[in-house]
Structure 1
Amino acid sequence: MSQSFQQAEAKMGGIYAIFKNHVKSAPDKTAVIFKHTSLSYQELDHKVCRLASYFTKIGLKAGHRIALFAPNGIEYPVVLMTAAKMGLAVVPLPMSLKGAALEVALKKTPVAAVLAWPTISKVLLEKDLIEQDKLISFEKSVAGEVIWQQVFNEQDNETLDVAETTVDENAPFILTMTSGSTGAPKPIVLSQHCKVQRAIEATKNYYGLVESDKILVATPLYHSLAQRGVLMPLMLGATTVIMAKFVLQSWLDAIETHKISFLFAVSAQLESFLAYEGPNFDLSSLRCLVSSSAVLNAESKKALLSRLNCAFHECYGASEVGVVTDFCVSAEPDKNGSVGRALPFVDLKICNDERQQVSVGEVGEIACKTLTGFSGYHKMPDATAAAYDSEGFFYTGDLGYLDAQGYLYYVGRKKEVISSGGINIFPQDIEAVIKRHPDIVECVAFGVAEPQLGEVIRVAYEQRGDALLDKALRLMCLQELTDYQQPRQFVRLDEMPRNQMGKVLRNDVKLQNQ
């Protein structure tokens, strides 16, 4: 971490202290842009102080948790920075959460206050999941509770002078939900110190970002990647541009209009960019683009190199540990199949089921030791302990292998391995072949139970056009895959189930097509 960031964090504790330095040194500089609204560093800080005043009046203190159900917008940086100032922990949740899943999420991580869209507020009040005086609704009130706009209306709310306090940068700051193959939520606890390390060591220092950069955020802000895209610029003294949601042409327009210089993109966004045939946009301001979320296939990477005139990276990581490896595709196109080498502060190893390190080139579970690790799973000490070995390496649940130069190659999720006739088969090997067909949009290979072999391979796919593809796909597989990798069945889907990041929900595909 650079000396100035270390000093700010050590002096007062955490993210707000770093942000406040930029408020003092460049109060009129644009901090956040959303649609037609922009806030300077001073204006953003004013909103943060107003919200901190209101939180104090309703009894919130350091260590309390608040839930946030909000679409992408100005609200996120205001709430996150207020929580950083007061030492609160934020539980960001998707507005699409419904029914039992909504109740389970809030019961897993009980909160002292909630900020929510009216549709969510109504459910929370009806189910007695939050008290009315501890609820702030956006846009409109559903049962007399305070609305967001009132908090910032100086006629409605007297501002309390909330004294600057030293916060514990190692205390919980963000509790983000992840889910395994069963869909059971596992709250990941991230501290302010962790978020500073991820923003500075894993982003600013690694990619060489500076105060003049403009960073675009176009993924849901309840996800940790987008949160970094908002918090990192505010710690750097740069500008963050937030999109309501990803729409390809609007995304390209935002890059041109705001002269975006750096962005994280998820692989689904880049795949849609490759298929784009609309008007041209000037992307020359882009200095660096980093692909994340899911591994791009080799053909897509080659195609992107011909479309982009900037440093093009692909990174691999997990919510629990942040970015683990990075690969500059534009600098080393000969290593196209890799997801890169470990970042400077990361130790990496590949292990078998007994957690013993395997040889170079041998597939095993990816394990890492890093400065950017999480604080643990909330109230799940056994699950947290089980994720680590005695040397402090976190086991990701992902499979891969290292080559002799230390480049990592991602193979797939450990739980997705197909076992047929006693042989372990990696779905990604099959999918890589099928995706070469020009009419295939996406595909998922998975195992289905079979008495003699244990499992046989079924492939679900989404395609362009109406042509019958099964015969062509079988021929491709026969030509390029070994006998035990041959799919037994093909299922055409009108559309793959995806999350809001555009990532295919593999487990949903499997459950719906057994």
Structure 2
Amino acid sequence: MNYERSVVDVFNETNQKYQNNPAFTCMGRTLSFKDIDALSAKFASYLQNHTSLEPGDRIAVQLPNLLQYPVVVFGAMRAGMTIVNTNPLYTPRELEHQLKDSGAKALVVLSNIATAAAEVISKTPVKHVIVTNIADLHTPVKRLLINSVVKYVKKMVPEFSFPNQIAFTKAIKLGEQKAYQPVTVNHEDIAVLQYTGGTTGVAKGAMLLHSNLVANMEQVREHLGDAFREAEELYVCPLPLYHIYAFTIHCMCLYSRGNESLLIPNPRDIPAFVKELKGKSITGFVGLNTLFNALCHNEDFKQLDFSSLRTTSSGGMALTNEVATRWEKVAGIRPAEGYGLTETSPVVCANKPSEICPGSVGTPVPGTEIKTIDENGAETELGAPGELCVRGPQVMKGYWKRPEATAEVIDEQGWFKTGDVATIDEKHFVRIVDRKKDMIIVSGFNVYPNEVEDVISSHPKVLEAAAIGVPDAKSGEAVKVFVVKEEDSLTDKDVIDYCRERLTAYKVPRMIEFRDDLPKSNVGKVLRKELRK
């Protein structure tokens, strides 16, 4: 396996080989590899000739699963720039932190969600804002129809304004005026700053090199083998491409083999989602536990033809046996669970579809070393639980501008400490027995208690707060917060409303419990373990 290539090298090779194959389909519109090649070149040319950006600069991308996403990301990479994947659900506070921390000089944003960025853009280093509408890459008539309905009938595009704003369609036209000039992109350059809380609540940018992404692509393709046949696959893509799991599968593994991805912009709209699947010969499905569960409870989904489905990959959160069994009954195939982290680009382990070990996250992908260690750093015996450590070409370079945080998780020998407690059996199957002790996973999204607590504690009527995860039938876990009042007039509605203004929806607590005090250690640290009891 050749890891010393850039994503751009892979992209160029792929486009030449599979020019006329369908690459991405969304809302009835399909772009071929030739289309993606041409459009991304125009976007790269725009960045080179009509902005102040230079190779190495960061460009934030805040888009759901639309055709614009691969065009923008591959175009920016071809211009030698670093992608800052940005969650479309971010509140102004969260977005401001990421744009400042990354030093992003440009932002590509969907008009429907642009108000958050417009509110904070003046406080960030961003100099160029490219705004796109949902159907900008559809045919002219359909583009006008869909964009008009979305804006004027459904009123889904709020008013906003940026000081240096340009329409995506205009940027593409400007990019046509001058040929894109290829840039030398080294495999050791940073391809993506992927933000994660790590083991704390402060969002940090994991520096994923081009070689990290290419390595994980090669590792996953070899490990899963027939799951990525050449130019034969049609995979459903409901998970957001800005999440490294979906990006690696759809924009790297599948794309590099000449395959097609069906983009689902809003997977929470289950009826619309199922409508997109009707009549399609789906061969692969990438999802997570809560999504599988929701789909299997939809009567129209149960009636779909799954005769072509060969692979279902599960990641992002634990796959329950109940949901796996239900999916197998409906779709005729058991989901193959995997495991990874943002910091490992992301795949560490995966079950092969032909060799699924229920309850495990599979075996390490090729070129990956794993071990478990005790609290003193000594390696534990086979089968004994310990903190899972990973070493391999997919492990990030480190956290952006945070050498101390990097040193906490990557030792001098290159071992990355995941913070997850696991066991490894004699066949190298890995079972996660306890994850990062305090992290909460809501529908596959990481919620860090520190961040929730910091927001709530800033409320003038709150003295203290502590957040934990509690089981939830729909989302796997939900956020529960214990609050000590500063003023008796404080209500649970006050706390939740305050959070809704400052936190993405999945981070907002579902339950508030007021207490006179919180359990603490002898040094004053809140004991979340006691609260979980």
TM-score category, normalised to shorter length? 0.7 to 0.9
Select the residue among 351, 354, 378 that pairs with 1:327.
351
Partners of 1:510 and 1:55 lie apart in 2 by 46
Deviation at 1:47, TM superposition (A): 1.0
- What one-letter code is carried by the residue in structure 1 that aligns with 2:435? R
Q: Which residue of 1 aligns with 2:131?
A: 137
Counting only pairs closer than 5 Å after superposition, residues 137-286 of structure 1 correspond to structure 2 as: 137-139=131-133, 142-143=161-162, 145-153=165-173, 159-180=177-198, 182-203=200-221, 206-208=224-226, 209=228, 210-232=230-252, 233-246=254-267, 247-278=269-300, 280-286=303-309
Q: Deviations over 1:466-503 (max 9, x none)?
A: xxxxxxxxxxxxxxxxxxxxxxxxxxxx9xx99xxx99
Deviation at 1:361, TM superposition (A): 2.8
Q: Deviations over 1:87-131 (max 9, x none)?
A: 210101112222332221111110121212332452244446433
Partners of 1:503 and 1:121 lie apart in 2 by 17
Q: Which stretch shifts more, 212-221 or 117-126? A: 117-126
Select the residue among 54, 60, 69 that pairs with 2:62.
69
Partners of 1:121 and 1:297 lie apart in 2 by 37
Structure 1 pair 283–349 and aligned structure 2 pair: CA distance change class (3 A): same
Structure 1 pair 181–371 and aligned structure 2 pair: CA distance change class (3 A): closer
Deviation at 1:329, TM superposition (A): 6.8
Partners of 2:17 and 2:364 lie apart in 1 by 35
Deviation at 1:282, TM superposition (A): 0.6
Select the residue among 107, 114, 133 that pairs with 1:114.
107
Deviation at 1:384, TM superposition (A): 1.3
For residue 76 of structure 1, give the secondary structure of its aligned residue in structure 2.
helix
Q: Does 1:382 align with 2:404?
A: yes
* Larger RCO of the pair (alpha carbons < 8 Å, separation 6+): 2
Structure 1 pair 20–312 and aligned structure 2 pair: CA distance change class (3 A): same
TM-score by length of 2: 0.73
Checking the alignment, whether the CA contact within 8 Å between 2:99 and 2:126 is kept in structure 1 is no
Select the residue among 303, 306, 324 that pairs with 2:329.
306
Q: Deviations over 1:254-286 (max 9, x none)?
A: 445332212321111112233333450011211
The alignment yields a C-alpha RMSD, in angstroms, of: 3.3
Structure 1 pair 72–459 and aligned structure 2 pair: CA distance change class (3 A): closer
Checking the alignment, whether the CA contact within 8 Å between 1:248 and 1:269 is kept in structure 2 is no
Deviation at 1:324, TM superposition (A): 1.5
Checking the alignment, whether the CA contact within 8 Å between 1:312 and 1:330 is kept in structure 2 is no
Structure 1 pair 345–509 and aligned structure 2 pair: CA distance change class (3 A): farther
- What one-letter code is carried by the residue in structure 2 that aligns with 1:376? G
Structure 1 pair 40–282 and aligned structure 2 pair: CA distance change class (3 A): same
For residue 422 of structure 2, give the secondary structure of its aligned residue in structure 1.
strand
- What one-letter code is carried by the residue in structure 1 that aligns with 2:11? F
Checking the alignment, whether the CA contact within 8 Å between 1:219 and 1:245 is kept in structure 2 is no
Checking the alignment, whether the CA contact within 8 Å between 1:350 and 1:365 is kept in structure 2 is yes
Where does structure 2 lack aligned partners over 5 or more consecutive residues?
134-156, 442-446, 450-467, 475-495, 515-530
For residue 193 of structure 2, give the secondary structure of its aligned residue in structure 1.
strand
Checking the alignment, whether the CA contact within 8 Å between 2:70 and 2:251 is kept in structure 1 is yes
Deviation at 1:389, TM superposition (A): 3.1
For residue 257 of structure 1, give the secondary structure of its aligned residue in structure 2.
coil
Percent of counterpart pairs with the same letter?
22
Structure 1 pair 336–85 and aligned structure 2 pair: CA distance change class (3 A): same
Partners of 1:283 and 1:149 lie apart in 2 by 37
- What one-letter code is carried by the residue in structure 2 that aligns with 1:103? E
Deviation at 1:187, TM superposition (A): 0.8
For residue 66 of structure 2, give the secondary structure of its aligned residue in structure 1.
coil
Checking the alignment, whether the CA contact within 8 Å between 1:213 and 1:261 is kept in structure 2 is yes
For residue 289 of structure 1, give the secondary structure of its aligned residue in structure 2.
strand
Structure 1 pair 348–115 and aligned structure 2 pair: CA distance change class (3 A): same
For residue 107 of structure 2, give the secondary structure of its aligned residue in structure 1.
strand
Deviation at 1:508, TM superposition (A): 5.1
Q: Which residue of 2 aligns with 1:15?
A: 7
Partners of 2:122 and 2:406 lie apart in 1 by 34
Partners of 2:202 and 2:438 lie apart in 1 by 17
- What one-letter code is carried by the residue in structure 1 that aligns with 2:343? E
Structure 1 pair 239–158 and aligned structure 2 pair: CA distance change class (3 A): closer
